[in-house]
Amino acid sequence: MGIGGIISAIVVGAIIGALGRLVVRGRQKISIIATILIGIVAALIGTWLASLFGWDTTDGPDVLEVVIQVALAALFVSLYAGYAGRRR
């Protein structure tokens, strides 16, 4: 993976993480770095899950793949926000 792949992973992770935070109700007290990292992990796992079912090879945009990624990001944001809230 070159520098372009790393930059695109960060950008996609930030977008997926932000969308995941928008889906979760309430205010989450997590940093932007945590949001980006959660987004990157959710994007990678979502892409892997979509490839298992063959949903990543469509003619148009991969809407199901993005839905899976955002749902995973929302789940991970909720889990992390709950964990971080208990630590304080």
pLDDT value of position 53: 86
Answer whether 85's CB lies under 8 Å from 73's CB. Answer: no
* Structural domain boundaries, residue 20: 3-87
Token pair 């709950």: residue: 82
pLDDT value of position 63: 84
Query: How large is the angle between the packed helices 32-53 and 63-87, nearest 10 degrees?
Result: 140
Alpha carbon distance 38, 4 (integer Å): 20
Q: How many domains is the chain built from?
A: 1
* pLDDT, tens only, 67-87: 999 999 999 999 998 887 666
pLDDT value of position 77: 93
pLDDT value of position 1: 56
Side-chain-side CA neighbours of 39 within 13 Å: the count stands at 24
* pLDDT, tens only, 15-60: 999 999 999 988 888 888 999 899 999 988 988 888 888 876 777 7
Answer whether 36's CB lies under 8 Å from 13's CB. Answer: yes
Provide the pLDDT confidence category of residue 88 given band limits of 50, 70 and 90.
low
